Amino acid sequence: MTDPRIDLRNPVLAAVLAFLFPGAGHAYQRRYFKAAIYSVCVLGIYFWGCSLGEAKAVHFRWDERAEDGQSRQRTFGYLAQVGVGLPALPAFAQQIRYTIQRESEDSDQQPGDILEEINSEFTGRLNHVELGHPEITGQVSGVIRVGDYGYGTEFEGTFTGQTADGNPLQLALLGSRNSGSLQLGDRITGLDNVTMSELVLEQQELDFSGDRRRFFVRVVNKTADLGMIEGTIPRPFYNHYLAPLDDESLQYLNGKLGKQYELALVYTWIAGLLNILAVWDALQGPAYGYGDEEPEEDSDEKSSEQTESADADAPEAATAKAGASS
């Protein structure tokens, strides 16, 4: 029985609020000191963990089966992280979107497919050779537009921009999706390999990015292959924030951050688990009572055990005694 001095108001609503945002349920119950403790401790630990993991520690992936060349990933740790509530819940939605994307690729789409028309800023490199014109090789930036041509697997597009030394440039893009002449990074992913593999030396370090998406397309003129353009286009925030990671990205993160990434996971796990205590406190009140109960000499065994548990040093002992008393 909850102490009558504690006004839990609507306990179910308070528990839901406490889950969604640590401390919110207790603020609703006007237990402001506890609200401060829960929000500062839980969110502090959670966001510190996110920072240690460079915002990639919280993600959810639940594969029903292994994909080609990849292990079946099931991030059980997210089941602890989700205890933090709203800050971690987007990962659940991203998992659903990620799965839909993968299933559409597996069923009737081809790798490098255009799932939507692309019209965005582009930075990268160009290797362009055209008869009768000087060779252009190097950094370019501009706007790239690619869309379905309307017939089978063909696509068309344009690149309008300039070279590094300011010369304007306009290219026509045309090709077939099945021929590998267009390669795009995943539309939804937390981290992606955006290494420009076609135009760089073999010794270059791998480059990963969450907010950039790899884009490779061959530059053609009717049937003549005139070169290639390779770089990155922006990936919107909602397509990479807390989105699932593939094996390669996880290996990259572990290699780059080492123990720091494991610390990030532990911090976010513990933050989520701690908030479960807060949710229960909002729903049922404090486990051992108000804290100022007087010992009753002539009471039954139950009361004396409760008093002893309040004086116990170790929480484990207190937990055991409270369990026995109930």
* Binders of other proteins in range 149-178 (CB under 8 A): none
Contact between 288 and other proteins by CB under 8 A: the answer reads: yes
**Binding pattern for the stretch 254-273 against other proteins, x by CB under 8 A and - elsewhere:** -----x---x--xx--xx--
Contact between 238 and other proteins by CB under 8 A: the answer reads: no
Contact between 313 and other proteins by CB under 8 A: the answer reads: yes
Query: For 164-263, where are the E strands, in sequence order?
Result: 168-176, 182-184, 192-193, 208-209, 212-221, 224-234
Contact between 286 and other proteins by CB under 8 A: the answer reads: yes
Residue 164: its H or E element: none
Residue from 45, 58, 88, 233 in contact with other proteins (CB under 8 A): 45
CA distance to 14, 17, 33, per residue, from 24 (Å): 8, 5, 12
* Binders of other proteins in range 65-94 (CB under 8 A): none
Stretch that binds other proteins, among 111-119, 143-151, 156-164, 284-292 (CB under 8 A): 284-292
> 3-class DSSP state for residue 165?
coil
Contact between 37 and other proteins by CB under 8 A: the answer reads: yes
**How far, in Å, CA of 32 to CA of 11, rounded?**
16
Contact between 191 and other proteins by CB under 8 A: the answer reads: no
Residue from 17, 31, 80, 189 in contact with other proteins (CB under 8 A): 31
Contact 105, 111 (CB under 8 A): yes
**How far, in Å, CA of 135 to CA of 138, rounded?**
10
- The site that binds other proteins (CB under 8 A) totals a number of residues, namely 36
User: Which candidate, 153, 212, 203, places its Cα nearest to that of 184?
Assistant: 212
Stretch that binds other proteins, among 35-43, 153-161, 194-202, 239-247 (CB under 8 A): 35-43
The CB-of-251 to other proteins minimum distance in angstroms stands at 21
> 3-class DSSP state for residue 196?
coil
DSSP 62: B
Q: Which residues of 79-117 are buried (b: 16+ CB within 10 A; e: fewer)?
A: ebbbbbbebbbbbeebbeebbebbeebeeeeeebbbeee
Stretch that binds other proteins, among 72-80, 164-172, 179-187, 278-286 (CB under 8 A): 278-286
Stretch that binds other proteins, among 57-65, 98-106, 151-159, 276-284 (CB under 8 A): 276-284
Contact between 28 and other proteins by CB under 8 A: the answer reads: no
Residue from 34, 128, 214, 321 in contact with other proteins (CB under 8 A): 34
User: Which candidate, 232, 132, 233, 125, places its Cα nearest to that of 169?
Assistant: 125
> 3-class DSSP state for residue 101?
helix
Contact between 274 and other proteins by CB under 8 A: the answer reads: yes
Contact between 146 and other proteins by CB under 8 A: the answer reads: no
Query: Encoding tokens for residue 245?
Result: 């990671």
Rounded to the nearest angstrom, the gap between the alpha carbon of residue 108 and the centroid of all alpha carbons in its chain is 27
Residue from 13, 16, 41, 55 in contact with other proteins (CB under 8 A): 41
**Closer of 226 and 266 to other proteins (Cβ):** 266
Contact between 301 and other proteins by CB under 8 A: the answer reads: no
User: Which candidate, 16, 39, 45, 23, places its Cα nearest to that of 269?
Assistant: 45
Contact between 17 and other proteins by CB under 8 A: the answer reads: no
- Residues binding other proteins (CB under 8 A): 3, 5-6, 31, 33-34, 37-38, 41-42, 44-45, 48, 259, 263, 266-267, 270-271, 274, 277-278, 280-281, 285-292, 313-315, 318
